[in-house]
Structure 1
Amino acid sequence: MVDPRYIRMFHEVVATGSYSAAARSLGYSQPAVSRQMRALERCVGTPLFVRVGRAMRLTEAGEVLARHAESVTADLAAAQNQISAIADLRAGTIRICAFPSASATIVPAATASATRAHPGLRIRLVEDEPPGSLETLRRGECDIALAFTYPGFGERPCDDVIGIEVLEDPVVAVLPTGHRLSRRRSLDLAELRGERWIAGCPRCRDHFVRACAAAGFEPDIAFTTDDNLAVQSLVAAGTGIALMPRLVLSFLKHPRIVGRRVRRVHHRSISAYVLRDHRRIPATALMLETFRRVGEQMRREP
């Protein structure tokens, strides 16, 4: 493999006509240019220049290389400019995988903040619930995965994945407006013993069943769906009640339901996950910090 620095210097020697002129143009000494040209000739295995009197002339091999050197040098310069733009956050793409309620709340706020400061950034968003989002991250199909866990539940990330806590999202009871407990500001899960329930995604359902067991009862689950709008509509129709993360109700709320805080039920923890080595990439580091800052702002909101 030919060192690109040799090609750039060779191109300058050809353009200026001598080692000394190339040295002046590039800010090198003339012996340094001579050494690099000899190294280039050893690399390609044949002479590239011959002297004719006091002038230098390209060999046939040198003429072949000269025809390619200009485009190679231009391509390298273009690549360097593009890399510099990415490193300086003037360009680049960030791929985010998030669960639906984060896609509707945390991601828009973080994206708006990041792109206001760096308009050249581009965001690509795909949706998946954990643990699927973490698998997407491990396969290299996204740069950052937003995922949630409950205390004592969910897999631990591998050694090559690190997580940055973004937000603690309380779980609320979703009740129809005419429910006997709908006027209460908060309630205990045990007070909902005997109700019919609507369960959500597998991870939320697992947490819900265990929370009910800790409260001393087994829930009567009449419906299961991971569609938050469907859950709310079923509750509004009087077919059951549900537990739901408060984040969902911040952007989507049926007019005939209420959300009430539930005591002694674990919150879900939302984190941004990234492959350990990728945290050094400027755009990824920027987005992680932006997610953390957005989470702080959301915690301060009533």
Structure 2
Amino acid sequence: MLNLERLRTLDALARHGSVSGAADGLHVTTSAVSQQMAKLEREVGQPLLAKNGRGVRLTDAGRLLADHAARIISQVELAQADVEARRGCAVGELRIGAFPTAMRGLLPRTLAGLRVEHPRLRPRVREQEPAESMAAVVRGDLDLALAIDWHNKRMPVPAELTRTHLLDDSADIAVPAGHPLAGRAEVSLAELRDEDWISWNEGQFCHEWLVYTLRGAGIEPRIAHIAEEHHTQLAFVEAGLGVCVTPRLGRGPVPAGVRLLPVSDTVRRHVYAVWRTDADRRPSVRAAVEALRGAVAGLRSPGPS
């Protein structure tokens, strides 16, 4: 009988393409991955891995078994969903990934609601960027993820996932209090043509969106500073080092030396939840989505200040 955990290891190797990638995805050591694969090779009686330079590759037998492993893992997910659905209540562990502003703006109220309505459910939350958390849901490392895209640039969702829209989150432009536009009721992107910008990390979806949007408005962006966290960006704005886009969800207090200007071009993000389609019947997933919708309904979207 093939061991399910060893098949999960093989599946992770096939998806990540390396022992280190599989170890990261499974949250184990590379030694643990190698040990599991050695045991699986003994179970099937033939090599599943071959050396490939400094790394490894799957043999023909390894690729064949990896295809079966992916289907088996999906069937296990369906079985878990069916068992949970038959039981009719949300229990056990539910692993959730969320981007930073959703962690602040949505998850506290969501988790508090789940604790009251489903006391036997144990949510476990991890802060991750949307692309990372969606990949983790596909791999089975997470059960549910919160993700975003923008009104003019959509993020592709893997075919294995189901998604549901939660809210549209408006964004403002943050400028220093002494900026010539600081007293305006709203501003257009074209008026910010000559500004230095404070952006997210290069390679992140939101950074790519900012560059794409400014170029679409005929502006070649001058990215002066890179900061991961919104409050760090606002601190740089207060110091007069540039301007930034600041979404309203989870924004919290704004520094006294910053002014927020709505954008006449209507800049907004779409926030949604995703989960594996084969987990659609799990009461725990449904309970979490319902709690998220309740948290959204209780939001009082902050305006600019």
Given the two structures, how large is their TM-score scaled by the length of structure 1?
0.67
Shift of 1:300: 6.8
- Give the 4+ runs in structure 1 shifted more than 4 A: 83-86, 299-302
2:239 is aligned, of 209, 214, 237, to 237
Structure 1 partner of 2:258: 257
Range moving further from structure 2, 276-285 or 178-187? 178-187
Structure 2 partner of 1:294: 295
Shift of 1:183: 1.8
Q: CA RMSD in A?
A: 2.4
Q: Secondary structure at the match of 1:131?
A: helix
Identity %: 30
Range moving further from structure 2, 144-153 or 97-106? 144-153
Distance 1:103 1:207, change over 3 A: same
Rounded to whole Å, the distance in 1 between the matches of 2:206 and 2:301 is 25
Shift of 1:152: 4.8
Shift of 1:233: 0.9
Distance 1:299 1:271, change over 3 A: farther
| Structure 1: gaps of 5 or more residues | 2-82
Rounded to whole Å, the distance in 2 between the matches of 1:84 and 1:151 is 36
Shift of 1:154: 4.5
Shift of 1:158: 2.4
- Equivalent residue letter for 1:239: L
Distance 1:186 1:152, change over 3 A: closer
Structure 1 partner of 2:179: 179
Rounded to whole Å, the distance in 2 between the matches of 1:128 and 1:93 is 18
Distance 1:265 1:206, change over 3 A: farther
> Is contact 2:85-2:282 (8 Å) kept?
no
1:138 aligns with 2:173: no
Rounded to whole Å, the distance in 2 between the matches of 1:152 and 1:236 is 28
Given the two structures, how large is their TM-score scaled by the length of structure 2?
0.66
Shift of 1:118: 1.8
Structure 2 partner of 1:279: 280
Shift of 1:89: 3.3
> Is contact 1:211-1:265 (8 Å) kept?
no
1:86-115 deviations in Å (ceiling 9; x for gaps): 934363221100011101111111111121
Instruction: Give the length in aligned residue pairs.
Output: 220
Structure 1 partner of 2:208: 206
Structure 2 partner of 1:105: 105
Q: Report matched runs for 1:69-108 at 5 Å.
A: 87-89=87-89, 91-108=91-108
Structure 2 partner of 1:227: 229
| Structure 2: gaps of 5 or more residues | 2-82
